[in-house]
Chains A and B, each alone.
Chain A
């Protein structure tokens, strides 16, 4: 939350900052906050884990929102990109394990390798995103959704059949280098990029494609180019999320990246509102915390010990019904294309403006 807020409000508040600093100011502000957060959470592994999962889900939801929400290209294979990122980043880290750059202190060289692994994961996912974006030249709507679904499944099968990726057993022993700080730096980056895109002329073109592709093309928007680019950006961040994920869970296997995972991300985007970045963030936080909250609620209520274990079982049908109920009552999601400060009461927004 802290990062999300700083990411979204700081660019507006930057009027008094010299122009050269404006671009990187949010980064400079976020880094010490994240460092502090990481340091504070060092004692609590569960909180670290939960916050990391939440962060990864936020990255996934916000990045999918660029394709599904802003561009209106319904993609239901996002877990595939995440898998590419997770496996390749994990693979790079496993290969570089035990090595160090001689002229750097060990801790720093580990960080360099970690960054390298994340980049490899993100870029290879971006390449896959480019490949999936290309068919959008010819396919639209439902058909494109099916191609992305098929792509996600193909990735899963390929991973499952590759010896280097440990087949069905997956990769284990990846160095546990991502902490809350690293994950939330990823969150920070994706929110920054998503908000910048939404406000730019690039974003206007994406909204135009979303509203009416044929009309956008008639107005001279290079629809294919924009669609492919949004796929590339979105899948880069999905790969980054995968890489971060691979570096804090003990083991990654093909079972974590199925169609079901893709649908979880879609639910987050749809619940938050197709096109709303803050909506996607809030939905990701809510849907990550919901099972945990229910579980602890059932545990504290006591009587039904088995019910607490059933939370994971109940989660998926509830997701399904949630989608149906949302579409019937509020097809645009909770926030629609609005951001959270557009829907908050006027006095709050005015006070926020006054302070900036």
Chain B
């Protein structure tokens, strides 16, 4: 019983992170009908930005509250900028082309980012005063992510039967906070209303005077910023960063989004939680090496039973 409870807690903690990444996929799919394959890699870049900021702050400052806030802010702002550029130069020119074109482009960007970050070409810029700015890209090997939240056991039930770590609680709270902000943005603000209108029909929205290009760009920036936040939470949980994390975490989060019904905001959250729990139970009660196969098997099963995902609707195709 205690073991089950522990797995439930771990699964929920992992699931909220998947849910946050999945929200980014869902938002972009909602407004553009594009599966943004590069989303996971934007997340990876965000984690590296956070990593660089943490190193720049030094050991003392990075674990303070303001330090953590600064790390998150830097990563999220940096990623928003990256998302803007990707949308502007890779997706916007293709908006009127067949959807497969944009999907292939997204895969291309994903590869360029994840494998580009593995290059170790070692450029160095000399700075005045004897310092030099190393532009070396991170290289292929994973690196330890600094302990920006020092792990302590927050709640222990019984004789260490169930242990809840502080980072689990903190990441749950941050994730919930980000989701509430998103909920507010989408349903209470003018921007959110414009976003929903574009998602409904972007031609009609444009006719009604909604600046669709700006709305789509903002949606991209928002989803990229969310990805960076989620990526940092993942790095805190996993205590490592590597250029390929985006491919795999991104793929998982994408599975979560599809399970929930892509384009559906509550669906993404539910999908993320379900996927986190399923994976945790596979690791806990079966073999951990089967985790990825079970995740994809579950996806295929869901799609076969409900082709639009759990909460999605299959739109009738017009000729």
Closest to A217 in B: B319
Asked if residues B104 and A323 are in contact (CB atoms below 8 Å), the reply is yes
Closest to A155 in B: B293
Residue B165 interfacial (CB < 8 Å): no
Of the listed stretches B58-66, B115-123, B142-150, B210-218, name the one at the interface; the rest are far from the partner chain: B115-123
Of the listed stretches A18-26, A138-146, A276-284, A341-349, name the one at the interface; the rest are far from the partner chain: A138-146
Q: Number of residues in B with C-beta < 8 Å to the partner? A: 47
Closest to A141 in B: B99
Of the listed stretches A229-237, A241-249, A314-322, name the one at the interface; the rest are far from the partner chain: A314-322
Residue B52 interfacial (CB < 8 Å): no
Residues of chain A lying within 8 A (CB to CB) of residue B140: 313
- Contacts A151-B300, A331-B97 known; A320 to B116 CB distance under 8 Å? yes
Q: Which of B101, B118, B290 contacts A157 (CB 8 A)?
A: B290
**Total A-B residue contacts, Cβ distance less than 8 Å:** 125
Asked if residues A150 and B299 are in contact (CB atoms below 8 Å), the reply is yes
CA distance A135 to B302 in the complex (A): 11
Asked if residues A259 and B247 are in contact (CB atoms below 8 Å), the reply is yes
Of the listed stretches B9-17, B106-114, B198-206, B221-229, name the one at the interface; the rest are far from the partner chain: B106-114
- Interface 0/1 of A78-113, CB less than 8 Å to B: 000000000000000000000000000000000000
Residues of chain B lying within 8 A (CB to CB) of residue A327: 94, 97, 101-102, 104-105, 108
CA distance A288 to B161 in the complex (A): 55
- Contacts A154-B297, A327-B94 known; A160 to B99 CB distance under 8 Å? no
CA distance A313 to B101 in the complex (A): 26
- The residue among B102, B120, B296 with the most chain A CB atoms within 10 A of its own CB is B296
Q: Which of B94, B103, B110, B319 contacts A215 (CB 8 A)?
A: B319
Closest to A212 in B: B319
* Nearest CB in chain A: distance from B144 CB, A: 22
- Contacts A154-B296, A320-B108 known; A138 to B304 CB distance under 8 Å? yes
Asked if residues A150 and B296 are in contact (CB atoms below 8 Å), the reply is yes
Q: Number of residues in A with C-beta < 8 Å to the partner? A: 43
- Contacts A135-B303, A143-B303, A313-B119 known; A157 to B289 CB distance under 8 Å? yes
Interface residues of A in 142-165 (CB under 8 A from B): 142-143, 145-147, 149-151, 153-154, 157-158, 160-161
* Nearest CB in chain A: distance from B44 CB, A: 14
Asked if residues A139 and B119 are in contact (CB atoms below 8 Å), the reply is no
Asked if residues A328 and B105 are in contact (CB atoms below 8 Å), the reply is yes
Residue B157 interfacial (CB < 8 Å): no
CA distance A324 to B109 in the complex (A): 7
Residues of chain B lying within 8 A (CB to CB) of residue A146: 35, 254-255, 258, 299, 303
Asked if residues B307 and A143 are in contact (CB atoms below 8 Å), the reply is yes
CA distance A272 to B247 in the complex (A): 26
Asked if residues A323 and B108 are in contact (CB atoms below 8 Å), the reply is yes
Closest to A160 in B: B289
Residues of chain A lying within 8 A (CB to CB) of residue B247: 259
- Contacts A320-B108, A323-B111, A328-B90 known; A154 to B303 CB distance under 8 Å? no
For the complex with contacts A151-B300, A154-B292, A313-B118, 18 further pairs of A-B residues with Cβ separation under 8 Å are A74-B103, A76-B107, A135-B304, A139-B303, A142-B103, A149-B296, A150-B299, A153-B296, A161-B293, A212-B319, A313-B119, A316-B111, A316-B118, A320-B113, A322-B108, A323-B107, A323-B108, A323-B111
- Interchain residue pairs with CB less than 8 A apart (18): A74-B103, A138-B304, A143-B307, A146-B35, A214-B318, A317-B111, A317-B115, A320-B110, A320-B115, A323-B111, A324-B108, A327-B102, A327-B104, A327-B105, A328-B105, A331-B94, A331-B97, A331-B98
Nearest first, the 5 closest Cβ-Cβ pairs linking A and B are A323-B108, A320-B111, A320-B112, A150-B296, A316-B115
Give the interface of A toward B (CB within 8 A): 72, 74, 76, 135, 138-139, 141-143, 145-147, 149-151, 153-154, 157-158, 160-161, 212, 214-215, 218, 259, 263, 266, 270, 310, 313-314, 316-317, 319-324, 327-328, 331
